[in-house]
C-alpha cells in the first residue's frame, strides 16, 4: 500500500524490494495489479494484506510516520499486488547491494565529522 500520488509503478513492472533500514535489496517482484482506494473502501482482504493494525487510528499513525503527512479515511492509496519472481535476478540484487555498500562507504568517507578530523 502506497499513497496514490507517490507510487510510480505500473502493472508488469519488475521491481527490486529494498529494506528501508539496512538499504539492502532482498527480493524481486513483478507488479500484477494496482488498485486505487480510499481507506474507507478497504476490504477485509486489503487490511489483512497490510501490516497488522487494529483500526484506522493505528493504520493512520503508521502511514503518517512513513509519509509525514496527515492520513484520513478519505486519503487515496494504491494497493499494489505483486508476485515474487526468480528469473535470474540474483545477480541484479548482488550488484545493487554492492553499489549501495560502495555509496555508503563514500558517504562515510566524506562525512562532516571525517572532514573535521583531516
* 77 burial via Cβ count (<10 Å: 0-12, 13-18, 19+): buried
- Average pLDDT of the residues in 43-66: 76
pLDDT top residue among 36 and 49? 36
- Domain at 2-108, CATH homologous superfamily: Sulfate adenylyltransferase (3.10.400.10)
Grid cell, residue 20, equals: 528501508
Confidence of residue 33 (pLDDT cuts 50, 70, 90): very high
Structural domain boundaries in the chain: 2-108
pLDDT at position 80 is 86
Question: Could you report the per-residue pLDDT of 40-51, keeping only the tens digit for each?
Answer: 888 777 777 766
pLDDT at position 118 is 46
* φ, ψ (nearest 5 deg) of residue 63: -65, -40
Amino acid at each position: 500500500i502506497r499513497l496514490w500520488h507517490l507510487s510510480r509503478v505500473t502493472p508488469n513492472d519488475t521491481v527490486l524490494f529494498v529494506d528501508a533500514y539496512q538499504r539492502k535489496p532482498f527480493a524481486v517482484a513483478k507488479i500484477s495489479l494496482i488498485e486505487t482506494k480510499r481507506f474507507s473502501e478497504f476490504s477485509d482482504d486489503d487490511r489483512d494484506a497490510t501490516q497488522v493494525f487494529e483500526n484506522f487510528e493505528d493504520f493512520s499513525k503508521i502511514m503518517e510516520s512513513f509519509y509525514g503527512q496527515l492520513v484520513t479515511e478519505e486519503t487515496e492509496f494504491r494497493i499494489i499486488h505483486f508476485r515474487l519472481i526468480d528469473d535470474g535476478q540474483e545477480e541484479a540484487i548482488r550488484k545493487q547491494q554492492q553499489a549501495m555498500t560502495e555509496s555508503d562507504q563514500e558517504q562515510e568517507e566524506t562525512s562532516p565529522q571525517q572532514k573535521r578530523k583531516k
